[in-house]
């Protein structure tokens, strides 16, 4: 019974490092995705503002 427990402990110790690396990669990818979405939203907002400014300047020009 003790041998089985030792084997489980040994295997879990060996699997800890790859699991943490895998988790770090997943967290990193989620983080990158989150930043990419934020950047995309910011760029869209800037483009929208530029369009508004252009539209306003055109309207002022016609008035």
CA separation for the pair 28, 25 (Å, rounded): 5
Q: What is the mean pLDDT of residues 29-55?
A: 91
**Is a pLDDT exceeding 60 seen at residue 63?**
no
**pLDDT tens per residue across span 24-33:** 888 999 999 9
Task: For 27-42, give one letter per residue: b (16+ CB within 10 A) or e.
Answer: eeeeeeeeeeeeeeee
**Is a pLDDT exceeding 90 seen at residue 40?**
yes
Q: Global pTM?
A: 0.48
* pLDDT value of residue 21: 80
Reduced to 3 states (helix: H, G, I; strand: E, B; else coil), residue 63 is: coil
Q: What is the mean pLDDT of residues 9-31?
A: 79
């Amino acid at each position: 019974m003790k041998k089985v427990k030792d084997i489980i402990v040994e295997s879990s110790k060996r699997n800890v490092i790859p699991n943490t690396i895998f988790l770090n990669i997943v967290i990193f990818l989620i983080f990158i995705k989150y930043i990419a979405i934020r950047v995309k939203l910011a760029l869209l907002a800037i483009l929208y503002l530029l369009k508004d400014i252009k539209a306003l300047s055109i309207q002022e020009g016609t008035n």
